[in-house]
Amino acid sequence: MTVIRRFVEWLSYHPTTEEIARALATEYLSEFSVLGLRFGRINNDDSITNLGQFGFPDSENIRGRNIPSQEWRSGTSAEIEIISGKSKEKWTPDSTIYVATLRDRGVIQGHLTISFHQAIPESQKHHTSEAIEDLCVPLSLYLSFVSNPYGTGVTPLSAENRDAGAGQLTQRQILILRGMVEGKTNHELATEMGFSVSTIRHETMRIYQALSVSDRKEAAKKAITLSLI
């Protein structure tokens, strides 16, 4: 969980999507010897916007490009087979590429593709995919409020709004909010913080009220937006 926490805290500084791709490949997933990493968003018209990438030879050619549905769906690569849903696997047949799904409110909003220097052995696939999927949670949240689809970052909030959001929460609530962003359950938070589950639930409701949100995902998004964690 330490890696996820560091990633979440780093996202609060609003890096560009290009910086995110580089950091994921060279720092947060460095133990897996990543060759290339990129992620993009699927738009309402089924086109794909390439947001951030690092290490792929064609990065310069497709950076920030919006690829029409017909064009990308006509591709025959193993990566496209997975993204289009033709393949139900997340690993390509040669075990050198993993494709993760980025979701917002249960709806697919994009994909993260990671290429490795060499094939990942079967014995290491679970650990590798688990580490990637864990990082996809805060990444999905971040992409949900990125204002510029071409990866130049998010629109900064005014200091007044930032202070107003932070001033309504206690230190305990900030810690619970951080746990929400990290995907922890109420039971996990209760055990970690030494409180009852009912106390965590009560504090959660107060967090929703303070941030004017209605669920954990909205609260987590606002926490990152306001740099509360």
pLDDT tens for 50-62 read 888 898 876 666 6
Domain with CATH 1.10.10.10 in the chain: 159-225
What integer pLDDT is reported at residue 151 of this predicted model? 40
DSSP state of 96: S
Domain with CATH 3.30.450.40 in the chain: 2-144
Instruction: Write the Ramachandran bin of 55: left for phi over 0, alpha for psi from -120 to 50, otherwise beta.
Output: left
Which residues of the chain have a pLDDT value below 70? 1, 58-64, 145-167, 227, 229
What integer pLDDT is reported at residue 182 of this predicted model? 83
Q: Within 10 A of 176 (CB to CB), how many other CB atoms are there?
A: 25
197 contact partners, CB below 8 Å, separation of at least 6:
186, 187, 190
What integer pLDDT is reported at residue 160 of this predicted model? 43
Q: Specify the CATH number of the domain 2-144.
A: 3.30.450.40
Q: pLDDT tens digits, residue range 212-223?
A: 888 888 888 888
Instruction: Quote the strand ranges of the chain, DSSP E.
Output: 34-42, 48-54, 66-67, 97-104, 107-116
Cα–Cα distance measured from residue 178 to residue 172, given in angstroms and rounded to the nearest whole number: 10
**Fold adopted by 159-225:** Arc Repressor Mutant, subunit A (1.10.10)
Structure tokens at 54: 């690092």
